[in-house]
Amino acid sequence: MFNKPNLPKECRKFESRFEDYLGGVPDSELDAHLAGCGDCRMLLQDSRLAGDLLREAWEPASEPSRAFLANVMARIHQEEARAKSPAAFWAPLEFLASRLSLTAAVLLLALSVYLVGFAPQRDVALNSIRTELSASDIPQPPSDPVSNEEVLQSLAERNNGR
Ligand SMILES: [Zn+2]
C-alpha cells in the first residue's frame, strides 16, 4: 500500500495491522511501537487521512446529489432520443470532420509558405509532412471539394518543379 522500501522489518510487520487498528481494533503491541517510532506514526496518519478521504467520496450527499442524478437521467433520455435519429447523430461529426480538414489545409498552406521561404531542404521536409499527414489519418467529409491528399500532391509537384 505504501511504497517505503527502507522501512525496517519490524515496522512492516505493524504496517499490515494499521487497517484493523484504524477500524477500532485494540492493539497494545502496536500502541507500544507507535510510541517509539515516528515513521509508523506518520504512516498511520497517512492511512487515516486516506481512509477519511475515501469515506467522504463514498458518502452520499443528500440534496445536491438527487438533483444531479435527475440531471443525468434527463441527459440520458435526451441522448436516447437523439440516437434514434441517425442524421442528428452524424451532423456534429460531419461538422467536426469538415472543420478538421479545413484546419489541416490552412496549416499546410502556412507550412508551405514557411518552407518555400525559409527552409533550405524543403523537399525532405515536405516529404516527411506528407507521410505524417496521409489522407487516411484525417476524417473526410463526403462533399469536400479538395482533399488533403490533392493539396499535398499539388504542393509537392510545385515544389519539385522549381
Ligand atoms: Zn515503526
Query: Does residue 4 form part of some domain?
Result: no
55 CA distance to ligand 1 middle (Å) = 26
Average pLDDT over residues 118-145: 57
pTM value?
0.34
22 CA distance to ligand 1 middle (Å) = 16
Cβ atoms of 98 and 145 within 8 Å: the answer is no
Query: Does residue 72 form part of some domain?
Result: no
Model confidence at 69: pLDDT above 60:
yes
Which of 27-31, 68-72, 85-89 has the weakest average pLDDT? 85-89
Model confidence at 62: pLDDT above 60:
no
Query: Does residue 141 form part of some domain?
Result: yes
pLDDT-based confidence at residue 137 (cuts at 50, 70, 90):
low
Taking residue 125's Cβ as centre, other Cβ atoms within 10 Å add up to: 16
Q: Which of 42, 38, 15 is nearest to 27 (CA)?
A: 15
65 CA distance to ligand 1 middle (Å) = 41
The reported pLDDT for the residue numbered 31 is: 95
102 CA distance to ligand 1 middle (Å) = 63
131 CA distance to ligand 1 middle (Å) = 59
Residues 6+ apart with CB under 8 A from 94: 141, 142
The reported pLDDT for the residue numbered 61 is: 57
Tell which wins on pLDDT, 83 or 20: 20
49 CA distance to ligand 1 middle (Å) = 18
Q: What are the backbone angles phi and psi of residue 5, rounded to the nearest 5°?
A: -65, -30
Q: Give residues whose Cβ lies within 5 Å of ion ligand 1.
A: 11, 37, 40
Residues in the chain: 162
The reported pLDDT for the residue numbered 3 is: 52
Query: Does residue 25 form part of some domain?
Result: yes
34 CA distance to ligand 1 middle (Å) = 6
If asked whether residues 94 and 142 sit together in one domain, one would say: yes
Taking residue 88's Cβ as centre, other Cβ atoms within 10 Å add up to: 11
Model confidence at 134: pLDDT above 60:
no
Cβ atoms of 21 and 44 within 8 Å: the answer is yes
The reported pLDDT for the residue numbered 150 is: 74
Q: Which of 63, 151, 74 is nearest to 109 (CA)?
A: 151
Domain that holds residue 150: 87-161
Cell of residue 101, nine digits: 480538414
Which of 34-38, 139-143, 152-156 has the weakest average pLDDT? 139-143
Number of domains in the chain: 2
Report d(CA 95, CA 111) in Å as an integer. Answer: 24
- Which residue among 41, 58, 75 closes a domain? 58
